[in-house]
């Protein structure tokens, strides 16, 4: 019985697949982190120039980290971008929701909604994904094959 190592795939094919995956995730992030907040804030008349700049800035950071993470996910830089992505997503959710307190004014009435527990659940998802990426990277690096070479003459 003869065992053979698995054949490596073509690098161009690997990176083309990763680029397609990155494009899909950037489109999803665009819908979640850019379109939905802008529609919400514009429909509630809370959209100001500062909020619009904040939404745009966070989306650009999220898109950049997503692409960086997916293209070079086999390297430590890919891990660092995955950790940064989780932290930025959690921070964005906290900042965009004003810490879980939303104040709306309608026809002279002011409504204040507090949803801090829901906010913490929303923030937990990217943070748990960040921990998963770290554990996967450590597991992947600990199972890599190391070839031992014996040096003659010592």
- Return phi, psi of residue 61, to 5°: -65, -45
What is the model's pLDDT at position 143? Answer: 63
What is the model's pLDDT at position 29? Answer: 94
The pLDDT tens digits for 113-148 are 999 999 999 999 999 999 999 998 888 766 666 666
Torsion of CA 131, 72, 61, 83, to 10 degrees: 20
pLDDT, mean of residues 21-43: 94
Claim: this prediction has a pTM higher than 0.85: no
* Domain boundaries defined on the chain: 11-139
The pLDDT tens digits for 38-66 are 999 998 888 899 999 999 999 999 999 99
HEC profile of 61-105: HHHHHHHHHHHCCCCHHHHHHHHHHHHHHHHHHHHHCHHHEEEEE
């Amino acid at each position: 019985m003869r065992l053979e190592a698995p054949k490596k795939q073509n690098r161009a094919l690997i990176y083309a697949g990763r680029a397609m995956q990155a494009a899909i995730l950037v489109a999803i992030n665009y819908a979640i982190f850019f379109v939905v907040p802008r529609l919400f804030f514009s429909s509630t008349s809370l959209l100001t120039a500062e909020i619009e700049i904040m939404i745009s800035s966070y989306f650009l950071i999220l898109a950049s980290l997503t692409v960086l993470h997916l293209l070079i996910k086999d390297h430590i830089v890919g891990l660092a971008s995955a950790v940064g992505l989780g932290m930025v997503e959690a921070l964005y959710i906290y900042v965009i929701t004003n810490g879980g307190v939303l104040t709306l004014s309608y026809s002279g009435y002011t409504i204040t909604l507090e949803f801090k527990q829901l906010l913490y659940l929303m923030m937990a998802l990217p943070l748990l994904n960040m921990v998963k990426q770290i554990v996967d990277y450590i597991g992947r690096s600990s199972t890599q094959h190391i070839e031992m070479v014996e040096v003659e003459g010592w």
